Amino acid sequence: MSVGERIKSARIGAGLSQRALADRMGMSAMAIAKYEKGTIVPKSGVLIRLAEALGVQVDYFFRSTSVALSLPQYRCRKELKKKEESRIHRQVQDWLERYLEIELIVGEEKPLDLPPPERCRVASLDDIETVAQMVREEWNLGLDPIENVMDVLEQHGVKVGVIEATDALDALTLYYNDTTPVIAVNNDMPGDRQRFNLAHELGHLMLRIEGDIDEEKAANRFAGAFLVPKEMAVRELGEKRRTITPQEFYLLKHKYGMSMSAWLHRAADLGIVTKPTADRLWRYFNARGWRREEPFDQVQPERPTHMEMLILRALGEEAIDEARARELFGGELPAGAARSAG
C-alpha cells in the first residue's frame, strides 16, 4: 500500500469521513482527499498529526506488509450497514498485517492444522458429533473443558483477533491470500458467547455438508459438541432428565465456558431432556429475559495471546525497539513490557 492508501485505510477503520478527519486536523477535506489519492505527499509533521487523529503509530503509514482478504462471512444479530462492514474489514486488515509482520520478524508461523476435508463430510447431526470428537482427539484436547478457545485455534494455525464493532456483529470468518483462515470476534461480549461464536466459526471452516442440513444449525451443533463432548454432557447431567434447574445450568456455564442457553440446546440435542421439557425451560428463560442477558456473574472474555507473546519476545531479544513494538501492538505496550526488555 502507498502512504495515501494507508491514510484512507486508517480513516475508514476509525469510522471517519474525509470531512470528519479534516475537522480533527483543522484542514480542508480537499487536502485529505489529495493525501489519500497521492497527489500530495504529507510532510512528517502532518503524518504525526494524522497518526494522532487516526489512533495509529506513524510507522503504520510505511508498513511493508499488505494482505488480500476474501469476502467475510458474518455472524450477525442484524444486518450490518455498508459503512460498518468497511470499518470492520479495515480493522481486520490492519490487525492481520501487524500479526504477519511480527511473525516475519520472529521467524515463526503456526502451520494450519485442520483435518482434511474428506474426514469432515457430514450427512447427519450424528456425523457432526463424530467430527467434533475427532477434532478434539487430533488436537489432544481430551474431554475436559477447554481453558482458552482462542489459544487452541491459534496453536493450530487459525488467526484469531478481537475487533471493535456494534452489537449487531458477533463474529466473522475470512481467508487471507486465499489460504489461511481468520476469525475475528466482537470484543464487547461475554466470554461464553465469544467462545461459542469461535467454535461456531470453526464449524463453518471444518464441516463439509452433504444433503439438506442447514449450515447454521450444523455449525451450532458442532460448537456445542466441540465445547462439551457428548460423554461429558451425559456425565454432568445424566442420560435422561425430567427437568434441569437453572442453578445446574449456571454452574456448568462457568465450568465449561458455555452459556446456559447453549447448555439447554445441548441437553435437547442429545435427548437428555424431551422436547416438551425443553420447551417448558425455554418459556422459563424467556419470561425472565435470560435469552437476551443471562443472570448472575458472566464468563470473562478471552483475548488472543500468541501475537502479543511474539511482540514481547522480539522486544526482549532487541529485534525491535519500543516504538516498533507499540506500532505492532496497535497501541500502548502492556504494563512492564519495557522493563522486561531492559
Q: Which residue range(s) make up the domain with 310? A: 306-341
Q: Is the pLDDT of residue 340 over 70?
A: no
The C-alpha atoms of residue 11 and residue 13 are separated, in whole angstroms, by 5
Task: Give kind and range of the element (H or E) at residue 246.
Answer: helix 246-256
How much is the pLDDT for 218?
97
Residue 171 is part of a domain; what is its CATH number?
A: 1.10.10.2910
Three cell numbers written together for 237 = 447431567
pLDDT at 156 over 80: yes
Candidates 313, 309, 292; CA nearest to 167 is: 292
Checking if the pLDDT of 260 tops 70, the result is yes
**Cβ within 8 Å of residue 270, ≥6 positions away:** 230, 233, 234
Least confident of 109-113, 133-137, 183-187, 200-204: 109-113
How large is the average pLDDT for residues 249-259?
98
| Domain tally, the chain | 3
| Percent with pLDDT over 90 in the chain | 73
Q: For 30-50, what is the mean pLDDT?
A: 92
Same domain? For 136 and 185 the reply is yes
Tell me what pLDDT residue 152 has. Answer: 97
- Overall average pLDDT of the 49-78 stretch: 86
Q: What integer is the mean pLDDT of 8-18?
A: 88
In a domain, 173, yes or no: yes
In a shared domain, residues 132 and 26: no
Neighbours of 65 (CB within 10 A): 14
In a shared domain, residues 282 and 153: yes
Residues 41 and 169 grouped into a single domain: no
Domain for residue 181, yes or no?
A: yes
Could you report the per-residue pLDDT of 124-150, keeping only the tens digit for each?
989 999 999 999 999 999 999 999 999
**pLDDT band for position 338 (cuts 50, 70, 90):** low
In a domain, 84, yes or no: no
Give the pLDDT mean for 200-227: 96
Q: How confident is the model at residue 68 (pLDDT cuts 50, 70, 90)?
A: confident
Other Cβ atoms less than 10 A from the Cβ of 139: the count is 17
Q: How far apart are CA 101 and CA 125, in angstroms?
A: 41
pLDDT value of position 339:
47
Identify the H or E element spanning 324. Answer: helix 322-329
Q: Is residue 261 part of a domain?
A: yes
Residues 152 and 223 in one domain: yes
Residue 71 resides in a domain: no
